[in-house]
């Protein structure tokens, strides 16, 4: 469930109404037309998470970076907290 | 690829693995809900890198595996009708029904088409006005918005020759079913990151509280899974049971509002039979009254006999985490991907297939 | 590698008094004669073919390799080539994998009624180009036409004869522990190029099929390294993983891969991610795998990269005494997984 991958939004085309809002998303250079109606705030150059042709989220860049500093931040926090053992 | 490759960084993964080893002092059993997570754990060889004290059990997170035999039979029946174009995701084609699977129907001349997106099925319906197009709408909550959107599109475009055969399943009821089982051994859950991208995290707080079980919403890449495992073990070692979000780059507590609205526009929650587990109340989606003309079951007046599961397949125990695939007497012998007894061997996400294809290097080396 | 000979496709199509191929054209009678005389096959003119016997006759010296393959690809035109290129390159390459220089090919067509002369001409011109690039002659052939619905536009069979290079000693029995596994370039390009056109899965890309002839480069490698090249295979359907599983089973040796060493184009990678496909199982065309003596591996790679300018050829693994008969891969993050045989066709997934 849920093969979804991030891609870069290159362009947006609006048709009919917001449920038909589509964009061209690039995955490592290949592009596919993706429906954007679930991510109304998405703008060109955003990275969106795409599942079965529908974008379901926009990457939160700040949160994305936190994974890389998690261990380091944790180490610093543990130094501050008194030991529990 | 951006936002993908970084979470496969070997050095970062190594650091997480070291930390997991450092803090694990007791045996813990963790379940990852999602088939995609199982796939990633096995494919990246992560299971062997975890401390022996940690047991990963693979949950029923494969909508393909839990689709009941009866529903496959319904899809097979529709695909066999001469004026029907049956469109489906690729993974469904090899899942065995009572007599046949969809790939066999295709070989016999049925018009069965593999699609990447349900929205494409609506286009096919538009291009083939004299045919009936049915989309086999399978999936967890992640896929429900797209399937619902296809119905909305068809409705707005005035397309009447489109319908969906819905077989959606929901995660929280499945989790409850597992946790409330007397034999349950799960200490913590890695919740399905993409399901939570849609639905948010609210549903998990009462579950964590009721069963005193940590739940960490986790992604799919190696670093995501390792961080999710670390966060779970951290809680377990401290005796905590909170809901935490490892996958915050996509998941917000309230989920995706538009997606939830789209689901509610088209679907009602319904009871659902889970292959290998049985009926779980209020655990699925069915097309609602407003959009009933897009409900393939009503349109084609489907009334097939309820199918029997293959008794030799222990998929229920596997999906509840009570047994591992290798404990099944038929694993690798009577039951292999080319002749599966049940769905977890067919779907590439199914626990049994994942083990068969990727795993347990040690047993190969032995 | 010599510059590919590019036939000008404006090479004018002869004027035919029919637009499509019909059953009559395959029946052996007047219409067949018209088809043969129409000039459409003039594109292959050579002394052996011009004899117009039922079969070609010629002399051969030395050990000979013989190979056959049939081509049923759909769509027949795709980025980077068409069924005609494949039909020539595929058989030429099979012979190259035996260490043989392809010399003569047969060419059989099974054409579905209604196939246009325009498309047929395009395929023939591609066949001619591919044949010239590979330096082979088409010496005998056959054309049949089947009813509409009993074919799929056009099927092609080519069988080829080649002379085995005197230094070639290609046999899986020569593979030893410590030998090294090399691929000649990026994997999975062909299969993904085809998939990009498949209705329901299509996407935009600049990926092209990697179909090309491998005989020149393989023979120059055999000339230089002889016996140190233990095994060659072009991983077509079923991909790299299938070939490795076959040789693992035949040799009862272990094959160990390192995922981070496997070369793959970014776009191909992106497409595989999107569709949930494993590139190890995706078809290739102009790619070969070699198992070679570790001592010469670095030189082999240098030679390969020199001949194939810009080639991303790489060493991807080695032969080991551990895990006999199995293919094991170290993942990017260091964990190990078994690379099994594919079961049936690989299908795109949502899970």
DSSP state of B336: B
Task: Give me the interface pTM, i.e. the ipTM.
Answer: 0.91
In this prediction, residue B362 carries a pLDDT of 47
Beta strands B132-139 and B162-169 are: parallel
Q: Which of A11, A29, A30, A52 is the best substitution to test chain C (most C C-beta atoms within 10 A)?
A: A30
Name, in order, each residue with C-beta under 8 angstroms of B318's C-beta and a sequence gap of 6 or more. B58, B276, B324, B325, B328, B344, B351, B352
Q: CA-to-CA distance for C291 and C308, rounded, in angstroms?
A: 19
User: Do B164 and B295 form a contact (C-beta atoms < 8 A)?
Assistant: yes
In this prediction, residue C43 carries a pLDDT of 78
In this prediction, residue B365 carries a pLDDT of 38
B111-114: strand order across its sheet = B111-114, B84-88, B132-139, B162-169, B278-287, B267-274
Instruction: Tell me if C337 and B143 make a contact (CB, 8 A cut-off).
Output: no
Chain A environment of C274 (Cβ under 8 Å): 5, 7, 27, 30, 32, 50
Mean pLDDT, rounded, for B3-17: 94
Q: Which chain C residue shows the shortest CA-CA distance from A28?
A: C270
Instruction: Tell me if A54 and B149 make a contact (CB, 8 A cut-off).
Output: yes
CATH of domain C172-338: 3.90.650.10
Chain C environment of B139 (Cβ under 8 Å): 350
In this prediction, residue A78 carries a pLDDT of 61
Instruction: Tell me if A27 and C205 make a contact (CB, 8 A cut-off).
Output: no
Q: Which chain A residue shows the shortest CA-CA distance from B141?
A: A1
Name, in order, each residue with C-beta under 8 angstroms of C154's C-beta and a sequence gap of 6 or more. C76, C83, C109, C110, C111, C112, C115, C119, C120, C123
The per-residue pLDDT of chain B, averaged, comes to 90
Q: CA-to-CA distance for A66 and C32, rounded, in angstroms?
A: 72
Name, in order, each residue with C-beta under 8 angstroms of B93's C-beta and a sequence gap of 6 or more. B101, B102, B103, B106, B112, B114, C347
Assess C350–A contact: CB distance below 8 Å, yes or no.
yes
Please give the interface size between B and C, counted as residue pairs whose CB atoms are below 8 Å apart. 116
Answer left, alpha or beta for residue B327, where phi above 0 means left and psi between -120 and 50 means alpha: alpha
pLDDT above 70: percentage of residues in chain C: 92
Mean pLDDT, rounded, for C169-194: 95
- What string of DSSP letters covers C54-81? SS------S-EEEEEEEE--SSSEETTE
Rounded to the nearest angstrom, the minimum Cα separation between C274 and chain B is: 9
Of the two residues B321 and B118, the one the predictor is more confident about is: B118
Chain C environment of A24 (Cβ under 8 Å): 204
Chains touching chain C at 3 or more Cβ pairs under 8 angstroms? A, B
- Residue A83, pLDDT > 70, answer no
- Structural domain containing residue A69: 4-80
Mean pLDDT, rounded, for B15-43: 93
Q: For residue C39, name the pLDDT band (cuts at 50, 70, 90).
A: low
Q: Is residue A85 part of a domain?
A: no
- Residue B363, pLDDT > 60, answer no
Chain B environment of A70 (Cβ under 8 Å): 227
Assess B40–C contact: CB distance below 8 Å, yes or no.
no
In this prediction, residue C11 carries a pLDDT of 60
Q: CA-to-CA distance for B105 and B231, rounded, in angstroms?
A: 46
Instruction: Tell me if B89 and C266 make a contact (CB, 8 A cut-off).
Output: no
Chain A environment of B259 (Cβ under 8 Å): 38, 56
User: Per-residue b/e over C8-21, b at no fewer than 16 CB within 10 Å?
Assistant: eeeeebeebeeeeb
Name, in order, each residue with C-beta under 8 angstroms of C296's C-beta and a sequence gap of 6 or more. C225, C228
Kindly report the CATH class assigned to C23-164. alpha beta
Chain C environment of B93 (Cβ under 8 Å): 347
Instruction: Name the least confident of A36-45, A52-61, B258-267, B330-339.
Output: B330-339
Q: For residue B58, name the pLDDT band (cuts at 50, 70, 90).
A: confident
Instruction: Tell me if C330 and B14 make a contact (CB, 8 A cut-off).
Output: no
Rounded to the nearest angstrom, the minimum Cα separation between B120 and chain C is: 6
Chains touching chain B at 3 or more Cβ pairs under 8 angstroms? A, C
Rounded to the nearest angstrom, the minimum Cα separation between A4 and chain B is: 8
- What string of DSSP letters covers B47-113? GGGS-TTEEEEEEEE-HHHHB-HHHHHHHHHHHTSTTEEEEE-GGGGG---SS--HHHHHHTT-EEE
pLDDT in tens, B179-231: 888 888 899 999 999 999 999 999 999 999 999 999 999 999 999 999 999 99
Beta strands B84-88 and B132-139 are: parallel
Rounded to the nearest angstrom, the minimum Cα separation between A34 and chain C is: 11
Token look-up 């490795």 returns: C244
pLDDT above 70: percentage of residues in chain B: 96
Q: Which chain C residue shows the shortest CA-CA distance from A27?
A: C270
Q: Which chain C residue shows the shortest CA-CA distance from B143?
A: C350
Instruction: Tell me if A2 and C351 make a contact (CB, 8 A cut-off).
Output: yes
Token look-up 């083939």 returns: B128
* Terminal alpha carbon distance of chain A: 40
Q: Which residues of A touch C (CB under 8 A)?
A: 1-3, 5, 7, 24, 26-32, 50-52
Q: For residue C307, name the pLDDT band (cuts at 50, 70, 90).
A: confident
Instruction: Tell me if B10 and C323 make a contact (CB, 8 A cut-off).
Output: no
Q: Which chain A residue shows the shortest CA-CA distance from C264?
A: A28
pLDDT in tens, B273-321: 888 778 899 999 999 999 999 999 999 999 988 887 777 888 778 777 7
Q: CA-to-CA distance for B57 and C255, rounded, in angstroms?
A: 29
Q: Which chain C residue shows the shortest CA-CA distance from A1?
A: C351
Q: CA-to-CA distance for B217 and C88, rounded, in angstroms?
A: 53
Rounded to the nearest angstrom, the minimum Cα separation between B365 and chain A is: 31
Chain C environment of B64 (Cβ under 8 Å): 351
Instruction: Tell me if B62 and A1 make a contact (CB, 8 A cut-off).
Output: yes
Q: Which chain C residue shows the shortest CA-CA distance from B13?
A: C333
Of C199, C332, C336, which has the smallest distance from its Cβ to B361's Cβ? C336
Q: CA-to-CA distance for B292 and B335, rounded, in angstroms?
A: 39
Number of domains making up chain A: 1
Of C204, C276, C351, which has the smallest distance from its Cβ to A31's Cβ? C204
- Residue C6, pLDDT > 70, answer no
- Residue C3, pLDDT > 60, answer no
pLDDT in tens, C93-151: 999 999 999 999 999 999 999 999 899 999 999 999 999 999 999 998 888 889 888 88
DSSP state of C42: G
Instruction: Name the least confident of A14-18, A32-36, B89-93, C193-197.
Output: A14-18
Rounded to the nearest angstrom, the minimum Cα separation between B321 and chain A is: 18
Instruction: Tell me if C205 and A30 make a contact (CB, 8 A cut-off).
Output: yes
Cα atoms in the Cβ-side hemisphere of radius 13 Å centred on C243? 24
Q: Is residue A65 part of a domain?
A: yes
Q: For residue A79, name the pLDDT band (cuts at 50, 70, 90).
A: low
Assess C52–A contact: CB distance below 8 Å, yes or no.
no
User: Do C111 and C89 form a contact (C-beta atoms < 8 A)?
Assistant: no
In this prediction, residue C179 carries a pLDDT of 98
Q: CA-to-CA distance for C313 and C187, rounded, in angstroms?
A: 10
User: Do C181 and C289 form a contact (C-beta atoms < 8 A)?
Assistant: yes
- Residue C344, pLDDT > 50, answer yes
Assess B120–C contact: CB distance below 8 Å, yes or no.
yes
Provide the 10 A C-beta neighbour count for residue C351. Answer: 28
Of B43, B62, B89, which has the smallest distance from its Cβ to C331's Cβ? B43
Chain C environment of B43 (Cβ under 8 Å): 331, 337
Please give the interface size between A and C, counted as residue pairs whose CB atoms are below 8 Å apart. 47
User: Do B38 and B218 form a contact (C-beta atoms < 8 A)?
Assistant: no
Of B19, B145, B251, which has the smallest distance from its Cβ to A54's Cβ? B145
Assess B1–C contact: CB distance below 8 Å, yes or no.
yes
pLDDT in tens, C248-305: 999 999 999 999 999 999 999 999 999 889 999 999 999 999 999 999 999 999 999 8
Name, in order, each residue with C-beta under 8 angstroms of C336's C-beta and a sequence gap of 6 or more. B45, B48, B361, C328, C329, C330
CATH of residue B47: 3.40.50.11740
Instruction: Tell me if A49 and B250 make a contact (CB, 8 A cut-off).
Output: yes
Which tokens in the block code for residue B275? 């292959």
Chain A environment of C196 (Cβ under 8 Å): 30
CATH of residue A23: 2.30.30.140
Rounded to the nearest angstrom, the minimum Cα separation between C344 and chain B is: 7
- Residue C235, pLDDT > 90, answer yes
Q: CA-to-CA distance for B156 and B126, rounded, in angstroms?
A: 12
- Residue B364, pLDDT > 60, answer no
Q: Which chain C residue shows the shortest CA-CA distance from B120?
A: C200
Of B296, B362, B346, nearest to B154 by C-alpha is B296
Instruction: Tell me if C266 and A3 make a contact (CB, 8 A cut-off).
Output: no
Number of domains making up chain B: 1
Q: Which chain C residue shows the shortest CA-CA distance from B38?
A: C351
In this prediction, residue B349 carries a pLDDT of 61
Instruction: Name the least confident of C154-163, C294-303, C307-316.
Output: C307-316
Sign of CA dihedral B140, B141, B142, B145: positive
Q: CA-to-CA distance for B343 and B341, rounded, in angstroms?
A: 7
DSSP state of C321: S
Q: Which chain A residue shows the shortest CA-CA distance from C206?
A: A30
Instruction: Tell me if A30 and C203 make a contact (CB, 8 A cut-off).
Output: yes
Q: Backbone phi, then psi, for B278, in 5-degree steps?
A: 110, -165
Instruction: Name the least confident of B25-29, B81-85, B172-176, C66-70.
Output: B172-176
Of C123, C63, C68, nearest to C91 by C-alpha is C68
Name, in order, each residue with C-beta under 8 angstroms of C3's C-beta and a sequence gap of 6 or more. none
Instruction: Name the least confident of A47-51, B25-29, B172-176, C160-164.
Output: B172-176
Give the helix ranges, DSSP H, for chain B: 10-23, 35-43, 63-66, 69-79, 102-107, 118-127, 144-156, 171-180, 193-199, 204-211, 222-238, 257-266, 296-299, 315-319, 343-346, 351-358, 361-365
Q: CATH 3.90.650.10 in chain C, residues?
A: 172-338
- Structural domain containing residue B246: 1-366
Chains touching chain A at 3 or more Cβ pairs under 8 angstroms? B, C
């Amino acid at each position: 469930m849920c093969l979804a991958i991030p891609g870069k939004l290159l362009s947006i085309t609006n048709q009919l109404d917001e449920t038909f809002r589509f964009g061209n998303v690039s995955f490592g250079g290949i592009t596919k037309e993706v429906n954007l109606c679930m991510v109304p705030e998405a703008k060109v150059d955003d990275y969106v998470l795409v599942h079965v042709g529908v974008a379901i989220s926009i990457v939160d860049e700040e949160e994305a970076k936190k994974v890389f500093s998690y261990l380091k931040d944790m180490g610093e926090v543990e130094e501050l907290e008194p030991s529990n053992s | 690829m951006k936002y993908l490759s970084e979470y496969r960084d070997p050095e970062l993964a190594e650091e997480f693995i070291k930390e997991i080893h450092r803090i694990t002092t007791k045996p813990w059993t963790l379940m990852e809900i999602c088939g995609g997570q199982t796939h990633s754990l096995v494919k990246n060889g992560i299971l062997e890198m975890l401390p022996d004290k940690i047991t990963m059990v693979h949950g029923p997170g494969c909508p393909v595996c839990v689709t009941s035999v009866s529903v496959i039979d319904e899809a097979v029946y529709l695909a066999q009708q001469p004026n029907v174009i049956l469109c489906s995701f690729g993974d469904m084609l090899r899942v065995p029904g009572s007599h046949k699977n969809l790939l066999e129907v295709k070989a016999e001349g049925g018009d069965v088409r593999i699609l990447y997106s349900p929205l494409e099925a609506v286009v096919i319906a538009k291009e083939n006005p004299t045919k009936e197009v049915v989309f086999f709408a399978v999936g967890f909550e992640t896929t429900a918005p797209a399937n619902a959107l296809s119905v909305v599109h068809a409705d707005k475009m005035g397309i009447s020759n489109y319908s969906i055969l819905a077989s959606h399943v929901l995660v929280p009821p499945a989790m409850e079913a597992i946790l409330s089982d007397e034999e349950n051994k799960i200490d913590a859950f890695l919740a399905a990151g993409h399901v939570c991208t849609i639905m948010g995290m609210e549903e998990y707080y009462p579950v964590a509280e009721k069963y005193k079980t940590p739940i960490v919403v986790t992604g799919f890449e190696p670093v995501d899974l390792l961080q999710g495992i670390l966060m779970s073990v951290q809680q377990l070692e401290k005796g905590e049971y909170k809901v935490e979000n490892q996958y915050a780059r996509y998941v917000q507590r309230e989920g995706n509002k538009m997606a939830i609205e789209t689901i509610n526009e088209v679907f009602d929650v319904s009871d659902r039979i889970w292959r290998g587990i049985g009926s779980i109340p209020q655990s699925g989606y069915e097309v609602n009254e407003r959009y009933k003309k897009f409900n393939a079951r009503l349109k084609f007046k489907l009334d097939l006999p309820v199918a029997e599961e293959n008794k030799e397949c222990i998929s229920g125990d596997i999906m509840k985490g009570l047994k591992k695939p290798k404990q099944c007497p038929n694993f690798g012998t009577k039951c292999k991907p080319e002749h599966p007894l049940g769905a977890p061997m067919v779907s590439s996400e199914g626990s049994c297939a994942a083990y068969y294809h990727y795993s347990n290097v040690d047993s190969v080396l032995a | 590698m010599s510059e590919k000979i590019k036939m000008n496709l404006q090479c004018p199509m002869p004027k035919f008094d029919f637009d499509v191929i019909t059953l009559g054209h395959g029946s052996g009678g007047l219409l067949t004669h018209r088809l043969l005389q129409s000039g459409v096959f003039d594109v292959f003119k050579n002394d052996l073919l011009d004899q117009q016997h039922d079969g070609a006759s010629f002399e051969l010296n030395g050990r000979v390799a013989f190979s056959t393959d049939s081509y049923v690809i759909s769509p027949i035109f795709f980025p980077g080539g068409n069924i005609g290129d494949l039909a020539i390159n595929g058989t030429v390459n099979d012979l190259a994998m035996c260490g043989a220089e392809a010399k003569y090919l047969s060419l059989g067509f099974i054409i579905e009624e209604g196939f246009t002369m325009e498309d047929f001409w395009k395929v023939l011109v591609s066949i001619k180009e591919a044949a010239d690039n590979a330096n082979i002659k088409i010496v005998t052939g056959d054309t049949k036409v089947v009813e509409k619905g009993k074919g799929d536009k056009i099927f092609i069979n080519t069988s080829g004869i080649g002379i085995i290079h005197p230094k070639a000693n290609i046999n899986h029995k020569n593979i030893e522990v410590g030998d090294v596994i090399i691929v000649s370039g990026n994997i999975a390009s062909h299969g993904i190029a085809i998939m990009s056109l498949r209705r329901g899965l299509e996407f935009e890309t600049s990926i092209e099929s990697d179909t090309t002839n491998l005989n020149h480069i393989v023979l120059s490698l055999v000339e230089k390294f002889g016996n140190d090249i233990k095994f060659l295979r072009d991983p077509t359907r079923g991909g790299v993983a299938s070939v490795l599983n076959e040789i693992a089973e035949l040799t009862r040796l272990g094959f160990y891969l390192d995922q981070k060493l496997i070369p793959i184009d970014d776009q191909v990678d992106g497409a595989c991610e999107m569709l949930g496909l494993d590139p190890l199982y995706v078809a290739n065309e102009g790619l070969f795998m070699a198992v070679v003596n570790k001592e010469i591996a670095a030189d082999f790679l240098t030679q390969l990269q020199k001949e194939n300018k810009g080639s991303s050829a790489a060493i991807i693994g080695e032969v080991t005494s551990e895990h006999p008969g199995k293919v094991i891969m170290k993942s990017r993050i260091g964990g190990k997984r078994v690379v099994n045989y594919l079961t049936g066709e690989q299908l795109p997934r949502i899970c």
